[in-house]
Structure 1
């Protein structure tokens, strides 16, 4: 199902479609739940038979009844366990499918306009996907097995003693109304809980991310109070949902208890000879005990469905939040990178226009031809569209109009995700060794290739002074190396990819003059023979380019030669 096809559909319909990956497992689980009901009816029948045999002092019947009870008990337990296993497998398939769709939407994807915050993205990926999956694991098998199970119990009850079946049928009419009211009653509370959870996630993430700044400003205490308030709001919303669930569950339990009590009273008085319904079949110990044992089974599926009403509201909210993320990704995404291009790569921008969703004017107009093997600097004021231009060239976004093409001597290619090297002003370094951070560019790289990347990025001297060389473990965020050294690790990582097109987004931002000069020298060495496009405010970096493009009022101007080298 493409995202375009989901537009216009309600969250309920979208929630139902999410069950598709686990449908086969849920179908098998439903069949086994029905078998579990049948085996359980047989088990209670054999137990009633055993009681009747004991009453009649029929030893032979007692032995056979006990054997039958053991066999049917094993079959019922086995069917129930297998049904649960299949439902869990289906839930995993649903959660995996949702996470794959979220991954495709959250990672840089062609044409994606909106940006999802880290807190909401993590929440959707970790929690909301499981909320939807757990809901389907619980309700999808029940949707098929519940009616069949109830019919089976009602049929057995009617066969052995039809007055008891009439009591069950009359009570059933009261339950759907209670279930519907329970669902409506819980919806408002689920909305509040969802909003409170989203707010708390954002507050926690922002607090940890800005902890250093908060500490420097002396605002840790105020932020702590904000966090406490958000947690209390979520606690109140959760307790409200629980109170509503408890109240609706209590009403259902009253109805069920009343029905079972009526049947138990009737059977007890009938066995004592105080009540006799005209034309009703004879009631003995076997019949009465069997009816009393299977009556609770009749209401078990409805109790489970009622409980699922509350879970359903949470799942609908979760599906809506996930849907808001994945529907922002167009159906026709740019192709992923094929074989690494080994020929010189040029870039062609033909009548390119880009406009963010909801904007009333284009962000960028671009027409340019970037020759293979050249350095091109893109300058302009902050927010002018330099990073947007790079993202269009990389294939991270699709233009609203026009074409972006990578040109080689043999062919023209649409931008391919992962087909170019990207170095930005924020270098992502993992809590791992220097070697592992460099090898992110190509995990299968040999030691010799890693050493070449180190030399090309001008990292040799840095590696030598580290306590364990390439095996030195960097702290989270790159603790242990300077900002300039971190940039050169990113350059080594990009070099290792072997891409012929490099896109650099403010690669020397926040560096002093000496560090900037070292990074520029490392880039010159690492990108020899490659096409390089640089978004920058730095004159020394622009001066190192072969040509300069300027973005003014959203328009990319023709290249002008750079005289200062």
Structure 2
């Protein structure tokens, strides 16, 4: 488990926000920019239609006061006619903003998928692949992408429509009664300062909430992943308390953010309410004849009611911008996390030719050095050649770097220095993701049939090809005893298979890919002697004529190899005697 339980009482560190996160957050809106532009246009049109609607209503009220039946009828007709486009424009603006949000979220998820699950031909950046934990990866894909998209859906259309909408309302107010417009302008000067102070006030709380969410995600994932171990150690109760503490910490951080947002919202509402109240008081006193501004036009019921109806519209964009301002802190923090994951990943995959499947593949490691971020020294130093069609075993203590060597050869990591190359008849080329077969010590079986699990890496494979893979992996006897043969469902709620049988399913899966370079990471780990013998035999059959590089602690498996290399103090060396 990755979560450090000894630090349960420690406060999670706040996530630092960098200046370039804002620029990156803005750039994220690109996939939805078209939809956001249309939404902004409709928001502005909606404002104009609504002003017209309120004008019709005010006209109707004046007609009722004047007992002008004809004007009253036409006023009601105008109100009904203008209400349809006003409501329709606002609704359509929301729909288009949602489409833009989906485009932004999809774009971010594609970037995250490209960084977390690189496809064949995409060259990963040094040290990025595999360093993001599963909890943070899932959190970024599921939640953080939506945080960024929701912010842009709210802020991007407002950024274009807010000023136009406010100017339209101000122009109408000034046209019918300019003193009321002056009150609106004077009040507006107080709002940007309030929004900025509110944002600074909420930033620290948003940072704490992000850190608490990250901590809780890690605790939950680790708890489920290590549930069996926790039960065996009798540590379920303690882990439950850790989970409760992390949840309470997130709850406190969330409530703190809500309190700060509520307080800043109250301040803005006070300013807006004060402005509307001043105008309402002035209009009421003017209509009663108690107040008269020199050179101001005479107030009527129509002009006074119209001013009162459009005043809230003047502040509506600023109120929405304030809500988006609070959401920006969350979106900026989310963008920082996503940016750390995807940085250095090319927008388009770099394609390279696959080795021909009928051709054995050799491997060359030339002055290869690999150092993890933050490490004081190299994890691996290697100069080695792996001849085509041979078996090579790499041995060494746990943590010595065996898996790192395999990851370098597979292209899952790039070396800090030196070159890794695959040799074919066409020359030396860089590793190609997906161009080799990989069998690890942990076999992932999906909640699907045996057939679907075998053809996971090659969905288009036919029945004859699947049967060949079953034969090569020695799975015939296993398939025969399953109730529905290849159609037996595995996984949660399905049929269970042993660890050795699952390993042979992985071998069949790898065989079906047709790759001539196999990388095996502890393929016989956690197996008894008989199961290990069966798996090694299956591997020998399946890899006939292929280049095989296996990282192992198993002496029987290493003894079957043509060459045995060892990692000692991070250096890969040949274990054969000098004169051998």
TM range (shorter): over 0.9
- In 2, the alpha carbon distance for the partners of 1:516 and 1:477 equals 27
- Pairing 1:425-504 to 2, within 5 Å after superposition: 425-476=441-492, 480-504=496-520
Q: Encode CA deviations 1:97-145: one digit per residue, 9 max, x unaligned.
A: 1111111222256234251111111111111111111011101111111
User: Which segment drifts farther, 369-378 or 462-471?
Assistant: 369-378
Match of 1:363 in 2: 379
Match of 1:77 in 2: 87
**Aligned residues of 2:147 and 2:330 also touching (Cα < 8 A):** yes
Count residues with an aligned counterpart.
558
- In 1, the alpha carbon distance for the partners of 2:462 and 2:395 equals 37
Q: Which runs of 5+ in 2 are unaligned?
A: 1-16
Match of 1:25 in 2: 35
3-state secondary structure, aligned to 2:497: coil
C-alpha change, 1:364 and 1:443, in structure 2 (3 Å) is same
C-alpha change, 1:169 and 1:43, in structure 2 (3 Å) is same
Alpha-carbon RMSD across the aligned residues, in angstroms, is: 2.2
Q: Quote the offset at 1:331 in angstroms.
A: 8.1
Alignment counterpart, residue 127 of structure 2, candidates 92, 113, 116 = 113
Q: Quote the offset at 1:176 in angstroms.
A: 1.2
Alignment pair present for 1:205 and 2:221: yes
User: Which segment drifts farther, 397-406 or 517-526?
Assistant: 397-406
**Aligned residues of 1:348 and 1:370 also touching (Cα < 8 A):** yes
User: Which segment drifts farther, 283-292 or 375-384?
Assistant: 375-384
Q: Which runs of 5+ in 1 are unaligned?
A: 1-6
Q: Encode CA deviations 1:477-506: one digit per residue, 9 max, x unaligned.
A: 996111110100000000111111111111
- In 2, the alpha carbon distance for the partners of 1:554 and 1:219 equals 35
User: Which segment drifts farther, 256-265 or 100-109?
Assistant: 100-109
Match of 1:415 in 2: 431
**Aligned residues of 2:216 and 2:246 also touching (Cα < 8 A):** yes
User: Which segment drifts farther, 253-262 or 483-492?
Assistant: 253-262
C-alpha change, 1:54 and 1:332, in structure 2 (3 Å) is closer
Q: Quote the offset at 1:330 in angstroms.
A: 7.3
Q: TM-score, normalised by structure 2?
A: 0.92
- In 1, the alpha carbon distance for the partners of 2:507 and 2:89 equals 58
Match of 1:12 in 2: 22
- In 2, the alpha carbon distance for the partners of 1:426 and 1:112 equals 24
- In 1, the alpha carbon distance for the partners of 2:406 and 2:355 equals 21
- In 2, the alpha carbon distance for the partners of 1:86 and 1:338 equals 42
- Pairing 1:184-203 to 2, within 5 Å after superposition: 184-203=200-219
Q: Quote the offset at 1:195 in angstroms.
A: 1.3
- In 2, the alpha carbon distance for the partners of 1:303 and 1:11 equals 25
C-alpha change, 1:336 and 1:70, in structure 2 (3 Å) is farther
User: Which segment drifts farther, 255-264 or 406-415?
Assistant: 406-415
3-state secondary structure, aligned to 2:400: coil
User: Which segment drifts farther, 10-19 or 498-507?
Assistant: 10-19
C-alpha change, 1:441 and 1:478, in structure 2 (3 Å) is farther
- Pairing 1:10-409 to 2, within 5 Å after superposition: 10-107=20-117, 110-114=124-128, 115-327=131-343, 329=345, 335=351, 338=354, 341-409=357-425
Q: Encode CA deviations 1:511-540: one digit per residue, 9 max, x unaligned.
A: 111111111110111111111111112121
- In 1, the alpha carbon distance for the partners of 2:574 and 2:36 equals 60
User: Which segment drifts farther, 43-52 or 456-465?
Assistant: 43-52
3-state secondary structure, aligned to 2:383: strand
Q: Encode CA deviations 1:339-374: one digit per residue, 9 max, x unaligned.
A: 763322111222222222222322222222222111
3-state secondary structure, aligned to 1:549: strand
Q: Quote the offset at 1:306 in angstroms.
A: 1.2
C-alpha change, 1:201 and 1:337, in structure 2 (3 Å) is farther
3-state secondary structure, aligned to 2:420: strand
3-state secondary structure, aligned to 1:557: strand
User: Which segment drifts farther, 59-68 or 266-275?
Assistant: 59-68
3-state secondary structure, aligned to 2:489: coil
C-alpha change, 1:107 and 1:407, in structure 2 (3 Å) is same
Q: Encode CA deviations 1:276-297: one digit per residue, 9 max, x unaligned.
A: 1111112111111111100000
- In 1, the alpha carbon distance for the partners of 2:522 and 2:495 equals 21
